[in-house]
Chain A
């Protein structure tokens, strides 16, 4: 075996039929899957029936994994850039050459900036022990996940209230009576298990209040839909809390024992009456009172969903925080039909996976984004990516010389790619590790082709929940091209940097055995089912043992972390001006068939991708002379403007327009996605450094766009 080969796992490529349990990689949800392999070829993909919550179900993207695997439009070998960045000229390189190139540039970076001048971002999730370990081993604190443009606000809101992130709460949808959603579009921004549970609950009579300026398909499944003004949901929550307190519709016993800061809360909402919020949200006072009456009857089996993608506006943090406070007021914590607490294996007397990061010394250097230091309100475990770009550009608080984008494409996912490109262009080294040609990859210095999720094995993962589980992504087939698994790529870079002991594993099985040490679970057991539960059934904590990892041990409405940051625990609502004439808030979302920018070049997903249209309210379209189906021109104030077809519908708030995200790609080698549709992130001009100061998430839906009918204002022939 040559030194640059990664060994396949045992049995790969063997003739005949075999079943491999693994995890999907078509989006970052990572559903458990069963892969049927025939003569070394993937024949069939379905949900892993060993996980009862998913059964055989899979979404369109999951099934289209076959289409990804057998598509040639992905990087086949390592590529090194020729000519200027983004110029699109590349040369093929061997792994040795590409990895040596990277190691040289890392040495240069360390010489200029120290180890802290190296950064990496990925899309978070259950496998990031590997990427964290990599960054830490290089002596840098600068690991980032993608939450600046996703769940950063809800993550940090939960942390400020409960002492742990929102991942520590699991919503028991199947047993709840009423679910309140703030734009959490469960049936389109799809997690298969969640969507199944949601639809089953709806069929069993669960009520759902869905709040969103646009009626998504989830709105179409809800029992109540409120078309609120864009970015006004915080006002709505302040009024709901006001009314809950006024009606005494909360669990006083729970609040007395487990919540601190009730007086602070009363003071913060004393004037935010249902009448007060009317002019902000457009929802009537009676509607608020009716909701509160309903939830009072259904409590504690009522869930206020604090959100998933919450990088919307500058008070999104407080939307999530007040939604979480409402759960506490319902007294639904650790109650069937409420918010269940995630349990570690230790809770059940088991042992969790060993961390790779334990093999590396802790890095004491402060993070470049100030998370956990000057910005105590931001969790240093995830960082805030826009501030990495700020540091690249300014060299403050210290310089950044090298950046790895691992399966992450900030030029698609973050606002204002032009601004990001300006920052990236200051780097000594930009590496994209990905299975596809991303926008960020196209601008990078080196593209390292990762083997697809069907061609590689990952490190094992541990998912804490009511019942904690270990999960496995196993290799189903041999790589079709000269690609490698991430654990191998990272090991090889570290070896070249003289850091050998951290990932001193020759095969993935060796690495798995390290992770599984002392857990009582074997690799063979993991392979047999793909998921291994660490308890027979969920046991809920009794009220007596309920304690939160905050200073007071309680749910802290008045937060120590926020106080330290000089931020109010509940800020006053900032009222929003309505855009007029040709100006609108730009909202965006996903269909069930696409995962951001990463699906549109997939042959089958490209075929069934919905046509990107611009939702616009008839009351605003009419004065602009726009009829349903007309081509309109849209601009966000920068150089970028494009044409898109108008969908004139009353199911979008008059102050906003809506389009699907993930379109408008510019990489010519990805021919099916190339040039297709409009890139909403390019319309988010000037928004890279506009964020919610408390939660850190980008304020993407504060983007104002201008719309005109194509050809409007020009002389008629």
Chain B
């Protein structure tokens, strides 16, 4: 895994898909590829309440990434300093091996360039001292990014705040 963590705090997510567009505009992508995706399931019944489930699917930046092993040209690489898995586009021949190899379907096909494209935590932005596009512009702040273990976990903080606001129901929270 990379040294970073990209957290999705699902209870604070509204499934607005803004992250998908923020991501695409930073990578200058048109229709087709979606390097990150919010998958919405519901409404479902949770203790009589309607609840929507949101699953955020960026790249996990695996330590031993299948996409890197599958890539025949060395275009798919792991950045030494922080473990980010990225594509060096000039080496990509568009064979789609990475797309086939990834268990989560993370690498995407870009019909505009006939090459693969994927989440690289917006390396360009990180190197400029910024946060990934999806995190920067997230509507609710449910996405957060940082060095693993350094960023505070929103779930702990929220639990604490809710205990203070309403001691009885805090334990039941999950929405």
Q: Which residues of A contact B162 (CB under 8 A)?
A: 203-205
> Which of B11-19, B59-67, B79-87 interfaces with chain A?
B11-19
B82 to chain A, nearest CB (A): 23
A220-B18 in contact (CB<8A)? no
Of chain B, the residue at the smallest CB distance from A220 is B52
Among B25, B31, B158, the residue within 8 A (CB) of A203 is: B158
Question: How many B residues are at the interface, by size bracket?
Answer: 35 or more
B137-A56 in contact (CB<8A)? yes
Q: How far is the CA of A137 from the CA of B127 in the complex (A)?
A: 55
Question: How many A residues are at the interface, by size bracket?
Answer: 35 or more
Among A204, A593, A650, the residue within 8 A (CB) of B16 is: A593
A59-B18 in contact (CB<8A)? yes
A60-B18 in contact (CB<8A)? yes
* Also in contact, A220 and B51, with CB within 8 A (given A187-B14, A187-B16, A205-B165): yes
Contact flags B30-58 to A (C-beta < 8 A → 1, else 0): 11101000000011010001111000000
A203-B50 in contact (CB<8A)? no
* Also in contact, A46 and B50, with CB within 8 A (given A64-B21, A608-B21): no
Among A60, A204, A603, A606, the residue within 8 A (CB) of B20 is: A60
Q: Which residues of B contact A552 (CB under 8 A)?
A: none
Among B15, B31, B51, B175, the residue within 8 A (CB) of A607 is: B31
Q: Which residues of A contact B136 (CB under 8 A)?
A: 46, 56
- Interface set, chain A 299-331, CB cutoff 8 A to B: none
Q: How far is the CA of A187 from the CA of B54 in the complex (A)?
A: 14
Contact flags A232-249 to B (C-beta < 8 A → 1, else 0): 000000000000000000
Among A195, A604, A649, the residue within 8 A (CB) of B140 is: A195
Q: Which residues of A contact B12 (CB under 8 A)?
A: 199, 203
B17-A593 in contact (CB<8A)? yes
B43-A63 in contact (CB<8A)? no
B30-A196 in contact (CB<8A)? no
B16-A215 in contact (CB<8A)? no
Among A47, A195, A206, the residue within 8 A (CB) of B14 is: A195
Q: Which residues of B contact A58 (CB under 8 A)?
A: 18, 22, 137, 139
Q: Which residues of A contact B52 (CB under 8 A)?
A: 217, 220
A604-B50 in contact (CB<8A)? no
Interface status of A221 (Cβ within 8 A of chain B): yes
Interface status of A94 (Cβ within 8 A of chain B): no
Among B21, B51, B138, the residue within 8 A (CB) of A57 is: B138
Contact flags A600-623 to B (C-beta < 8 A → 1, else 0): 000111111000000000000000
Interface status of B69 (Cβ within 8 A of chain A): no
Q: Which residues of B contact A59 (CB under 8 A)?
A: 16, 18, 139
A57-B139 in contact (CB<8A)? yes
Q: Which residues of B contact A190 (CB under 8 A)?
A: 16, 139
Q: How far is the CA of A215 from the CA of B43 in the complex (A)?
A: 7
Interface status of B89 (Cβ within 8 A of chain A): no
- Interface set, chain B 146-161, CB cutoff 8 A to A: 158, 161
* Also in contact, A606 and B31, with CB within 8 A (given A205-B162, A592-B17): yes
Of chain A, the residue at the smallest CB distance from B48 is A225
Of chain A, the residue at the smallest CB distance from B31 is A607
* Also in contact, A67 and B25, with CB within 8 A (given A60-B20, A220-B51): yes
Q: Which residues of A contact B141 (CB under 8 A)?
A: 57, 196, 199-200
* Also in contact, A205 and B14, with CB within 8 A (given A220-B175, A607-B31): no
Interface status of B171 (Cβ within 8 A of chain A): no
Q: How far is the CA of A563 from the CA of B67 in the complex (A)?
A: 73
B170 to chain A, nearest CB (A): 8
- Known contacts A60-B18, A187-B14; 13 additional CB pairs below 8 A are A58-B139, A63-B22, A63-B25, A187-B16, A188-B14, A207-B166, A215-B43, A220-B51, A221-B14, A604-B25, A607-B31, A649-B43, A651-B43
